[in-house]
Amino acid sequence: MTTPLDIAPLWFWASVAGLVGLAFGSFSTVLSWRWPRNESVVHPRSHCSSCERTLTPLELVPVLSWVALRGRCRGCGERVHWRYPAIEVASGALAAGAILSFGATWKGLAAALLGVVLVPVIVIDLEHRLIPDIVVLPAAAVGLALMVAADPGDWWKPLVAALGAAGFMFVLWFLYPAGMGFGDVKLTLLLGAVLGASVVPALFLAFGAGALLGTILLVRHGAGARKMAVPFGPFLAAGALVALWWGPSMIGWYTDRLG
Ligand SMILES: [Zn+2]
């Protein structure tokens, strides 16, 4: 099938996605600092957290400005944490990789969206044990729309995957609320919408990795491990990223063995 996007090669659209991903990553650095602190993500303008100086447009260029300034504020010389370029690079790479793998298509766009949204979800949940609804819920709605557009004949599949996976997580949360947060339930809506059937291996990987870490903590710290709160969102996000690329082959491997 030819589309208007065929006027340019795939690497071009992947580069565009990479640049948009970098810009989204830049927003994510602001989001992951301010949202958990109940600060507005638009006001005031980005500023140095030690000298409060408002950053100039050139200092807001993702990654490059950090490299050019050797990771220091131009005003006060204070170190700018490497998390800023790391979040930007991860977001850009996931967006470009999604388009390269799934094409300049609705599916590729949905995969890129999932990638760039999971980056701040991981960072914020690790640091604050919170899942940012402010990006997860709109992303779930947009991801669902993109996946329906990708395959309108089977429009119900992403819907069933989103509601089924989130329903499963809701039951677990309802039965054992200490095990995860309600944010994890909402995050699963996004995962199901974009991953479709691959949300099953994503959850399998997340619970497997979570149980493994729980066991390691229990062995190393004994009964004290019960008091160590480990956020589950990063496990869900990591499981989703693995399943985004390898979910279909994992499902194939499993069904082959069932005969
Ligand atoms: Zn400064």
**Confidence band (pLDDT; 50, 70, 90) for 1?**
low
pLDDT at 2: 65
Q: Which residue has the higher pLDDT, 180 or 120?
A: 120
| Dist. CA 32 → ligand 1 center (Å) | 19
Q: Give the per-residue pLDDT at 218.
A: 87
Tell me the average pLDDT across 100-121: 97
Tokens of 234: 């990063």
Mean of pLDDT values over 133-151: 97
Are 93 and 112 a contacting pair, CB within 8 Å? no
Q: How many CB atoms lie within 10 A of CB 239?
A: 25
Residue 226 has pLDDT above 80, yes or no: no
Q: How far apart, in whole angstroms, are the C-alpha atoms of residue 73 and residue 84?
A: 13
Q: Ligand 1 centre and the CA of 115: distance in Å? A: 31
Tell me the CA–centroid distance for residue 125 and ligand 1, in Å.
Answer: 27
Distance 19 CA to ligand 1 centre (A): 26
CA of 59 to the centre of ligand 1 (A): 12
- For ligand 1, the distance from its centroid to the CA atom of residue 55, given in whole angstroms, is 9
Q: Which amino acid is at 151?
A: D
Say if CB 31 and CB 84 are below 8 A apart.
no
Residue 169 has pLDDT above 90, yes or no: yes
**Tokens coding 147:** 């996946």
Lowest-confidence range among 16-20, 131-135, 214-218? 214-218
8-15 contacts: CB < 8 A, separation 24 or more?
10/99, 10/100, 10/103, 10/104, 11/100, 13/99, 13/104, 14/96, 14/97, 14/99, 14/100, 14/104, 15/96
Separation CA 163–CA 140 (nearest Å): 11
